[in-house]
Amino acid sequence: MATIKDVAKKANVSVATVSRVVNNTGYVNTETRNLVLDAIKSLDYIPSELARSLFKKQSNLIGVIIPHLTTYFYGELIEALEDAVIDKGYRLMTFNSRNDAKREERFMNVFSQYHISGLIVAAHLNKLRSYQKLSLPMVAIDHHVSDTIPSISSDNEMGGELAAKHFLKRKAKKLIHFRGASFLLTVKDRDHGFKKTLEGSGIDIIDADLDFNNPDLDLIERTLQAHRDCDGIFCDGDLIAMHVIKVAEKLKLKIPDDVELIGYDDLKLDQLVTPTLSSIKQDIEQIAKKAIESLIGLIQDPQATLPDHQTFPVRLIERDSTQ
């Protein structure tokens, strides 16, 4: 791979001259500029984006903070963000926080060193005040970070409502709701929509809280064993629902004959499990597009005014896990 020194040697100029041409800084006469450009073309030299960002103290890098790399939802989100940003002249740099405050501190040093242009936050931040001191344009996905940072998500309350309406149609008498971490706004909204819609129906609701990334199989088994007479199960994430399928098979509970099951996210994996999983579909592509569009708008105009919170509608995709 050609280097800047190779280009300088071929064009018979200094490295500093090549740098001025590449970064479009300082004066270089037309003849010399053309010699450098011809050398770049013939050597197929690709200037380092990182080097340019360090030199100019700015970059076209967008940081993305996620809580886990092993969660399928975040894998699909990163893919959608990459698709949304690729033609905008920016590139993504992904940071996996694991909800660890010390890791977040290290990220802040990287943001400064690499002159990140803006930040998409898709994780709970332990060091929010420190991040705000960086004065970076920020947009949140699926999280309410602060009143000053615009956020974008699915209509999670609507998702809870759709699951509840399905079970009301089935004339269910007892339901289990396997929720995610209770401190998350998305979980609170889904739970609120679910319970508000079922209010006054007389349906018994059993709640159990699980880790989205690593659901507790023992807790799922104890809950299902104690409530084998339940008619339906609503899970705040598809990964939780897939664990429920595994436990139900062990307990010889047939889905959907004995109990119906609805997940959340509509991951691509939903069609590969048995039975195929009914799920609340989030439009991850549209959320990603809106997040990138909003962030670039703030990067280009820091005074731009954006809505505090934007939501996208969801819908129930029915498959074999519901009758």
**List of residues 6+ apart from 153 with CB closer than 8 A:** 141, 142, 143, 186, 287, 309, 310, 311, 312
| Res 55 pLDDT > 70 | no
Q: Do domains 61-153+285-312 and 156-282 have the same CATH topology?
A: yes
| 307 vs 298, more confident | 298
| Res 54 pLDDT > 70 | no
| pLDDT averaged over every residue in the chain | 90
Lowest mean pLDDT among 29-38, 218-227, 256-265: 29-38
Fold of 4-47: 434 Repressor (Amino-terminal Domain) (1.10.260)
The residues spanned by each domain of the chain are 4-47, 61-153+285-312, 156-282
| Most confident residue range from 70-84, 158-172, 293-307 | 158-172
pLDDT in tens, 268-285: 999 999 999 999 999 999
| 135 vs 153, more confident | 153
Mean pLDDT, residues 73-87: 92
Assign 51 a pLDDT band (cuts: 50, 70, 90): low
| Res 58 pLDDT > 70 | no
Tell me the torsion sign for CA atoms 214, 218, 223, 225: positive
pLDDT in tens, 189-248: 999 999 999 999 999 999 999 999 889 999 999 999 999 999 999 999 999 999 999 999
Mean pLDDT, residues 22-40: 84
Q: Are the C-beta atoms of residues 232 and 164 closer than 8 Å to each other?
A: no
Provide the 3-class DSSP secondary structure of residue 151: strand
Q: What is the pTM of this model?
A: 0.81
Q: Which CATH superfamily is domain 61-153+285-312 in?
A: Response regulator (3.40.50.2300)
Q: What percent of the chain has pLDDT over 90?
A: 59
The CATH architecture one would assign to domain 156-282 is: 3-Layer(aba) Sandwich (3.40)
Q: Are the C-beta atoms of residues 91 and 49 closer than 8 Å to each other?
A: yes
- Copy the structure tokens of residue 230: 């339940």
pLDDT in tens, 95-144: 988 888 888 878 877 777 777 899 999 987 776 777 777 788 999 998 87
User: Of 139, 125, 100, which is closest to residue 299 (Cα–Cα)?
Assistant: 139
User: Of 293, 294, 285, 170, which is closest to residue 231 (Cα–Cα)?
Assistant: 170
- Copy the structure tokens of residue 2: 């050609």
